[in-house]
Every structure is written in C-alpha cells, then in structure tokens.
C-alpha cells in the first residue's frame, strides 16, 4: 500500500497512538465535529448516557491530517479499527481533505453512522450541555471530556465555536477558556 493520510478531529489529534511522519492542519468539507454519539461506557451509562464526538454531515471540520508510511498501513489501520470501531457507531471512509497550504489528499476518516442506535442527532449547545451535565462513565465525567477537548483544540490553534458554547454552558466562561 502507498503512503496515506488519516484525519483526526477529536482525541486522535493530540493522542494519535500510531506512527506517522508528518502532521498538518486539514479541513474536511461536508462534515462537522459534533457531540452526536451517546456514550454508554466511557462518558455515561445506559441509564444516563453522555455524549462524545463524531463527524456528522454538514458544514466543515478543521482537524489534523497525519501522513502514514505505506509499510505501516496494516498496523495503523488495525489499530484505528480497534480504537474507533468498537461499537460500530463510526463508518470508515476515505474522504478528501484540504491540507494547510491548499493540497487536496484522500484521508482515512471515521464518520458517525446515523442509523446506529447510539446516534444522538443534531442539537443546539444548550441541549448538548444539558445531556453532558452529570453524565459519568468509566473514563470519567462527561463535562471533563468536553472541557478538555475545547482546551486541546485551542492549544492546537483550532476554534470550534459550537463546542466552545457547549463547554461554556457546562462550566461558565472562566473554566472553558
């Protein structure tokens, strides 16, 4: 297999967990970062689900693209499938992303499956904050997940106004910035 790109929009950006030779900011068109997946294990329970990120249709998403050497394809793809496809709420796709500088490349990407029972659908920041508040799973409080995500994005120079609005409603402006 030839060298390939992987697109990250959430924790994959600051904790990729796989070998790569280059990282570039990239924009995926046609999908947006959203708290659109019910979490029944890591950030909630079946009785009190939390919300985690997915790429949902509409808009665009600024994230990071990682260039992976072709000789590592089997290892990296196996790792990503184990990490991302546990409950099959994500669909593996190869989609065009625009790298910083304008180059268009195909990237391995994981988008939400809208037919999956864990799909939470679109919601405004107030509704997302209401669902996140108080949810706790094996990986900790859902509020922590959202606030940490916003902080990581800002550290990478990436603004996500919708997600920032959710974080602000959870914790107030001082904690989420």
Active-site positions read 84
Beta bridge partners of 6: 66, 108
* DSSP category for residue 114: T
In whole angstroms, give the CA distance from residue 146 to residue 39: 13
Whether the Cβ atoms of residue 18 and residue 80 lie closer than 8 Å to each other = yes
Q: Is the CB of residue 118 less than 8 Å from the CB of residue 36?
A: no
Q: What are phi and psi of 58, to 5 degrees?
A: 105, 140
CA-wise closest residue to 61 among 69, 73, 53, 72: 53
């Amino acid at each position: 297999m030839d060298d390939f790109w992987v697109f990250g929009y959430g924790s994959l950006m600051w904790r990729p967990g796989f070998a790569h030779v280059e990282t570039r900011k990239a924009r995926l068109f046609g999908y947006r970062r959203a708290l659109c997946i019910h979490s029944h294990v890591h950030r909630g329970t079946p009785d009190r689900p939390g919300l985690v990120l997915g790429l949902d249709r509409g808009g665009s998403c600024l994230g990071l693209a990682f260039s992976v050497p072709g000789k590592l394809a089997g290892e990296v793809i196996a790792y990503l499938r184990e990490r991302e496809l546990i409950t099959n709420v994500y669909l593996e796709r190869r989609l065009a992303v625009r790298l910083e500088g304008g180059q268009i490349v195909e990237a391995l990407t994981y988008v939400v499956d809208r037919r999956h029972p864990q799909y939470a659908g679109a919601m405004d920041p107030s509704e997302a904050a209401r669902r996140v508040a108080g949810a706790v799973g094996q990986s900790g409080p859902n509020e922590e997940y959202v606030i940490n995500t916003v902080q990581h994005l800002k550290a990478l120079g990436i603004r996500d106004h919708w997600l920032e609005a959710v974080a602000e409603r959870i914790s107030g402006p001082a904690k989420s910035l």
